[in-house]
Amino acid sequence: MKKILFVCLGNICRSPMAEYIFNDIAAKNGIRAHAESAGTSGWHNGEYMHCGTAEILDSMDIDSHTFTSRKIKPADLAAYDYIIVMDDSNLADVEKLFGRQPEKIFKITDLAPSCGYDHVPDPWYTGNFNETRNILTACCEALAGQIRRGEK
């Protein structure tokens, strides 16, 4: 089973949305993979996700009630097959912690270059949770397909 850690800044918007969307896609398609999420800042440790993220997941009939935000930790490098970040700033922060490992640590948008984005805009600032959902769904579907085909 592949283990994936999605990472954003606060672990209340983008990375939890990716976690739950990916797990839903994997479960519906019989893909042996499981995702979790974390943030680089730790600003929201122990909190539930942003209400905008929860509303998006609810609208997709994805149950997210068990979520709790957490900060990335050193043990995560060994615990996960992939650490997938949302933008260049997250990538720099994660690479400071773990070093450069492009086969294991990379941006989610690298998985779906046809989505037209080189990062996932943070809806905390943009307010556009639908845009985030659309990008993450395309990227999570691409990741699930690569895992199913044995490419990841």
Which tens digit of pLDDT belongs to each residue from 77-129? 999 999 999 999 999 999 999 999 999 999 999 999 998 999 999 999 999 99
CB-CB contact of 24 with 62 (8 Å):
yes
For the beta carbon of residue 1, count every other beta carbon within 10 angstroms.
9
pLDDT at 21 over 90: yes
Which residue is catalytic, options 14, 24, 133, 140?
A: 14
Residue pLDDT, tens place only, 37-54: 999 999 999 999 999 999
Q: How far apart are CA 118 and CA 6, in angstroms?
A: 16
In this structure, the strands spanning 82-85 and 33-39 are unpaired
148 is catalytic: no
122 is catalytic: yes
Write b or e for each residue in 57-81: b if 16 or more Cβ atoms lie within 10 A of its Cβ, otherwise e: beeeebebeebebbbbeeebbeebe
151 phi, psi to nearest 5 deg: -85, -20
Catalytic residue among 76, 87, 93, 122: 122
Active site residue 87: no
